[in-house]
Amino acid sequence: MTEISKEYNGHTITINDDSTMRFRVQGPIVETWCDRYLEAQTIIDAAVAEHEAQKRRRIAIKVLNETGDECTVTGVHASNGNVLGLAKNDRFGLYANYYPALPWIGETIERIRSLSTEAVRLKQSLDPFLMRGDGRDVRPGRTHAQKVDNLVALIEEKTAAAQAAAPPGKGSGK
């Protein structure tokens, strides 16, 4: 019986010339029999890749995402470099940013969120008095003088409404 062997990815693939003509795979990771040479290569490649993946450094580091929620960074994606363990940003499908998991950072993120909410509320309280610079709020007039008169009337109307809605002691102003 004659055997022909070839080295492939740290393994030996041997074909025996008995009646089965099968390929024997021997190596540090895989020991098996295959019917085709390409099948043997595929099995070796998959086993070596899995073995290498298991050897990769594993980490579990606590971080805070941009909303202040705790996440665990587990590594770096081998092919695209994305940080693993972070949720994707729902809006664009991009990976979220993150910060060290320190109490003062969590408190600062919470303060930013609180101030942002307050800023939105304050902006909404001013919306009834908003006048657009593109002139959409100004009633149309036939002449330029009418348009200016309508602009003055709009400003006076919004000013009166703002004074009536002002907090105590803040109704008048320059």
pLDDT of 121 > 90? The answer is yes
What is the percent of the chain with per-residue pLDDT over 90, rounded to a whole number?
46
pLDDT of 99 > 90? The answer is yes
Give the model's pLDDT for residue 168.
81
Give the model's pLDDT for residue 90.
54
Helices (H), the chain: 37-55, 103-126, 144-165
Residue range 8-66, pLDDT digits in tens: 999 999 987 777 788 999 999 899 999 999 999 999 999 898 888 777 778 899 999 88
Q: Could you give the 3-state DSSP secondary structure of residue 25?
A: strand
CB 141 within 8 A of CB 132: no
Say which range, 29-33, 70-74, 87-91, 138-142, has the weakest mean pLDDT.
87-91
CB 57 within 8 A of CB 78: no
Q: Order across the sheet with 3-8: list the strands.
A: 3-8, 11-16, 23-26, 31-34
Give the model's pLDDT for residue 136.
78
- In terms of C-beta density within 10 A (0-12 exposed, 13-18 middle, 19 or more buried), how is residue 18 classed? exposed
Residue range 142-152, pLDDT digits in tens: 888 988 999 99
Long-range Cβ pairs for the range 19-23 (8 Å, 24+): none
Question: Given pLDDT bands bounded at 50, 70 and 90, which one contains residue 93?
Answer: low
Q: How far apart are CA 146 and CA 135, in angstroms?
A: 13
CA 86 to mean position of chain CA atoms: 8
Give the model's pLDDT for residue 111.
96
CB 150 within 8 A of CB 138: yes
Say which range, 83-87, 96-100, 110-114, 125-129, has the weakest mean pLDDT.
83-87
Average pLDDT of the segment spanning 62-75: 89
